[in-house]
């Protein structure tokens, strides 16, 4: 603040007697202005602008073997779930952290073999139906801000469809795949006709797809009731079969197995056009109806199917995976390999980053 000083000038007059000679007039010198230097104006130091970091979003990962990334070692969690310690949820968190988006992962309850209904029912691994893993929704609560995962394939009966179409899967090589063929009396060579023209196969598949739609609707409702502020991300499945099924006739690089073992080309065409494509569309519709986000991996992985050689993101049906069960190597059973896992993570991370508005 500037202060102004006032200068006071005092003039003294001399009185003289009349007899005294007149004095020369005294002319006072012109008063010089008194300049008081102003105090320097110092601008206050600029304070650093601190933008508070966004709070981490409390997140729960749910899902089946596609979220658990069956086949990628090492595993963690319940032994029955065969959940990889390096599954796509782990990679999603890493990707988002590098972009400044923080997720507080409260739980990853993804589990191999999970159906949609295992979100609200205990998942059983026993023929007797005894409960083995708690319902996945038990990890979700009022503070949950994000729920992410892949569910639908097991409810649609994909494993049973594969066994319906493969003689090898019906034997010892398929013992570790917990499913039965739809109709063991119908030969695998007639698989496409069984589902495409046969009444029994058509009705079975239609009922499965109807169950997917109904159960997804119930799942969204239950998550919404338990976590009203949560955003839900339903993750689709990577594409298994290419448009050109002739590419599936060659053995996988460095191996002796064909990508889909003994499943015929007509059955592979049905698996893509009659099963996976309709399932993808159904999952998208259910997510949109519920106001959830859908990650369409089918559309983005057409060049990395199980039959795309060195680029493939899907492990071959009966090719050994990274995981062993006792002294036995588990087959991939057409699950995402590490390349596929990274493609899953990239698609999911991009969707979450856009959803959270960063």
Q: How many other C-beta atoms can be found within 10 angstroms of the C-beta atom of residue 281?
A: 13
- Coil, strand, or helix at residue 330? strand
The answer to whether residue 306 is catalytic is: no
Q: Which residues contact 263 (CB under 8 A, 6 or more apart)?
A: 162, 165, 166, 188, 191, 271, 317
Decide if 229 is catalytic. Answer: no
* Burial (Cβ within 10 Å: 0-12, 13-18, ≥19) of residue 319: buried
Rounded to an integer, what distance in angstroms lies between the CA atom of residue 299 and that of residue 276? 11
Give the whole-angstrom CA distance, residue 211 versus residue 33: 98
What is the Cα–Cα distance from 77 to 86, expressed in whole angstroms? 12
Helices 277-289 and 199-226, packing angle to 10 deg? 30
The active-site residue, picked from 335, 337, 340, 347, is: 335
Contact assessment for residue 78 and residue 122, using Cβ atoms and an 8 Å cutoff: no
Work out whether the CA dihedral 104, 85, 118, 263 comes out positive or negative. positive
Annotation marks residue 335 as catalytic:
yes
- Measured between its terminal Cα atoms, the distance across the chain in Å is 45
Task: Kindly name the residue from 113, 152, 236, 306 that is annotated as catalytic.
Answer: 113
Determine which one of 66, 84, 110, 154 is catalytic. 154
Compute the 3-state secondary structure of the chain and give helix, strand, coil in percent, each to the nearest 5.
Answer: 40, 15, 50
Instruction: Give yes or no: 291 in active site.
Output: no
The full 3-state SS of 16-63, as one line of letters, equals: CCCCCCCCCCCCCCCCCCCCCCCCCCCCCCCCCCCCCCCCCEEEEEEE
Instruction: Determine which one of 63, 65, 66, 340 is catalytic.
Output: 65
Q: With contact defined as beta carbons under 8 Å apart, do 23 and 16 qualify?
A: yes
Residue 281 CA to residue 170 CA, distance in Å, equals: 29
Bridge partner list, 336: 314
Contact 167, 184 (CB under 8 A): no
Q: Which residues are catalytic?
A: 65, 113, 154, 335
């Amino acid at each position: 603040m500037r202060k102004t000083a006032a200068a006071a000038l005092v003039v003294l007059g001399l009185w003289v007697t009349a007899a005294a000679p007149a004095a020369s007039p005294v002319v006072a010198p012109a008063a010089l202005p008194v300049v008081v230097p102003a105090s320097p104006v110092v601008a206050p130091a600029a304070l650093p602008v601190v933008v508070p970091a966004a709070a981490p979003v409390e997140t729960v990962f749910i899902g089946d073997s596609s979220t658990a990334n069956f086949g990628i070692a090492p595993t963690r969690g319940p032994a029955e779930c065969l959940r990889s310690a390096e599954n796509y949820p782990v990679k999603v968190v890493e990707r988002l952290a590098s972009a400044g988006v923080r997720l507080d992962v409260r739980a990853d309850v993804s589990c191999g073999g999970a159906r949609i209904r295992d979100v609200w029912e205990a998942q059983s691994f026993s023929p007797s139906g005894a409960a083995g893993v708690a319902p996945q929704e038990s990890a979700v609560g009022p503070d949950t801000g994000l729920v992410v995962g892949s569910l639908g394939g097991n409810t649609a009966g994909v494993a049973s469809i594969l066994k319906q179409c493969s003689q090898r899967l019906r034997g010892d090589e398929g013992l570790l795949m917990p499913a039965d063929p739809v109709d063991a009396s119908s030969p695998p060579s007639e698989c496409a006709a069984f589902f495409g023209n046969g009444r029994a196969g058509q009705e079975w598949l239609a009922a499965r797809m109807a169950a997917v739609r109904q159960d997804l609707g119930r799942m969204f409702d239950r998550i919404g009731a338990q976590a009203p502020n949560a955003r839900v991300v339903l993750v689709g499945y990577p594409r298994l079969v290419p448009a050109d099924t002739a590419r599936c006739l060659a053995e996988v690089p460095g191996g002796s197995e064909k990508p889909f073992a003994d499943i015929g080309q007509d059955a592979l065409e049905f698996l893509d056009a009659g099963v996976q494509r309709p399932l993808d569309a159904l999952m998208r519709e259910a997510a949109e109806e519920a106001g959830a986000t859908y990650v369409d991996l089918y559309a983005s992985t057409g060049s990395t199917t199980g039959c795309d050689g060195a680029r493939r993101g899907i492990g071959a049906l009966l090719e050994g995976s990274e995981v062993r069960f006792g002294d036995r190597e588990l087959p991939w059973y057409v699950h995402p390999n590490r390349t596929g896992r990274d493609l899953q993570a990239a698609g999911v991370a991009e969707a979450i980053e856009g959803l959270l508005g960063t």
